[in-house]
Amino acid sequence: MDDALLGLFSDQSDPTMTTTTTDKQIRIIGVPMDLGADRRGVDMGPSAIRMADLQKRLARLGYEVIDRGDVPVPIPEVLSMTHPRAKYLPEVTQANQRLADRVEAILDEGAIPLVLGGDQSISVGTIAGVAAFYRRRGQNVGVIWFDAHADMNTPETTPSGNIHGMPYAASLGMGPRELTHLKGFAPKLDARACALIGVRSIDDLERENVRSSGLRVFTMRDIDERGIRAVMEEALAIATTGTAGLLVSLDMDFIDPTYAPGVGTPVVGGATYREAHLAMEMIADSRRVIAIEVVEVNPILDTRNQTGALAVELILSAFGQRIL
């Protein structure tokens, strides 16, 4: 990596940089899950993100940060796969149930859950926990989902059987009942309050699920033509109008592999370093964040934890770090 690119991933604690501060609390949960994907390695994602000084750097922003450790997840070597169209469905469901319970408990404490993956199948649990908490208050949740993929497959449309391609669909009520009805109700989300940003790889049969869902989709072409600012303004309006707040799901493959090589399923042509930061900075400016998850960091495919370090920088931007 050349010196200019290395500079992009340097520690942002330069004394010339200032941050915003709040009295809010953050609780970190790791989910070392790779049962939802074919490629091993994303189970180490939570550790890679933590190693980039996540907790200390969040504390510098004025948050009280407590790391609650990891949700227990079995490894595939000790399991038998009984659902070829939804691989490891019982085990993925159980891990997501545990995650959902922890996320809901954190919200009951008045804190913000920060969930570290793990493959994207953990979004089922993150969203279920947040939705259950606000459902008790008669409120809906808005979602902005940053991803190269739509994650809108079901067992009937998936070409792989990998559940990390199904969580957005499950949260909108499509797919196996074990996933759609986690926490006892479905759907978890109203598609009219949901956006998908950065998509550039959709499976053939998945397209109809996307089109029929009512989900607002911003492809990379939208970002190219309109710019990330205009896309984010519209997405934020969708996700925050009439909702309790905003849940952010960031798959690191939203970003181009030039900047984030260590991801589960890289796709060329993604967001740039600055586009990703501006998106997170606008999320912070909204002051409507109620939960954040970051998924699909794969240290096996990474270079010197470049992607883990970038994940931390983007988390900091989402929680209010500013240049000036």
pLDDT, tens digit (0-9, with 9 covering 90-100), for 47-66 = 999 999 999 999 999 999 99
pLDDT, mean of residues 128-156: 98
Confidence of residue 282 (pLDDT cuts 50, 70, 90): very high
Report d(CA 119, CA 184) in Å as an integer: 23
SS3 sequence, 174-209?
CCCHHHHCHHHCCCCCCHHHEEEEEECECCCCHHHH
Instruction: For the chain, give the mean pLDDT.
Output: 93
Confidence of residue 8 (pLDDT cuts 50, 70, 90): very low
The pLDDT value given to residue 316 = 98
**Domains of the chain: which residue ranges?**
20-318
On whether the CB atoms of residues 291 and 253 are closer than 8 A, the answer is no
Task: Kindly tell me if the per-residue pLDDT of 43 is higher than 90.
Answer: yes
Give the other-Cβ count within 10 Å of 183's Cβ: 19
Task: Kindly tell me if the per-residue pLDDT of 197 is higher than 60.
Answer: yes
Task: Kindly tell me if the per-residue pLDDT of 85 is higher than 90.
Answer: yes
Confidence of residue 2 (pLDDT cuts 50, 70, 90): very low
Report d(CA 235, CA 218) in Å as an integer: 9
Bigger pLDDT: 161 or 4? 161
Q: Which two tokens stand for residue 53?
A: 């000084």
The pLDDT value given to residue 323 = 87
The pLDDT value given to residue 16 = 31
Task: Kindly tell me if the per-residue pLDDT of 129 is higher than 50.
Answer: yes
Supply the pTM of this predicted model: 0.93
Report d(CA 220, CA 131) in Å as an integer: 28
Task: Kindly tell me if the per-residue pLDDT of 242 is higher than 80.
Answer: yes
Task: Kindly tell me if the per-residue pLDDT of 245 is higher than 80.
Answer: yes
Confidence of residue 38 (pLDDT cuts 50, 70, 90): confident
Question: What is the side-by-side strand order in the sheet with 142-146?
Answer: 64-70, 25-31, 112-117, 289-295, 246-251, 142-146, 194-199, 216-219
pLDDT, mean of residues 179-195: 98
DSSP 28: E
Task: Kindly tell me if the per-residue pLDDT of 6 is higher than 50.
Answer: no
Task: Kindly tell me if the per-residue pLDDT of 179 is higher than 50.
Answer: yes
Return left, alpha or beta for 72; rule: phi > 0 is left, psi -120 to 50 is alpha, else beta. beta
Q: Is 173 helix (H, G, I), strand (E, B) or coil?
A: coil
Report d(CA 66, CA 75) in Å as an integer: 26
The pLDDT value given to residue 215 = 97
Confidence of residue 82 (pLDDT cuts 50, 70, 90): confident
Task: Kindly tell me if the per-residue pLDDT of 107 is higher than 90.
Answer: yes
pLDDT, mean of residues 270-277: 98
User: Phi/psi at 67 (nearest 5 deg)?
Assistant: -95, 120
The pLDDT value given to residue 4 = 37
Confidence of residue 190 (pLDDT cuts 50, 70, 90): very high
Percent of residues, the chain, with pLDDT higher than 90: 91
User: Phi/psi at 139 (nearest 5 deg)?
Assistant: -120, 150
pLDDT, tens digit (0-9, with 9 covering 90-100), for 23-35 = 599 999 999 999 9
On whether the CB atoms of residues 117 and 297 are closer than 8 A, the answer is yes
Confidence of residue 292 (pLDDT cuts 50, 70, 90): very high
The pLDDT value given to residue 133 = 98
Q: Which CATH architecture has domain 20-318?
A: 3-Layer(aba) Sandwich (3.40)
Task: Kindly tell me if the per-residue pLDDT of 196 is higher than 50.
Answer: yes
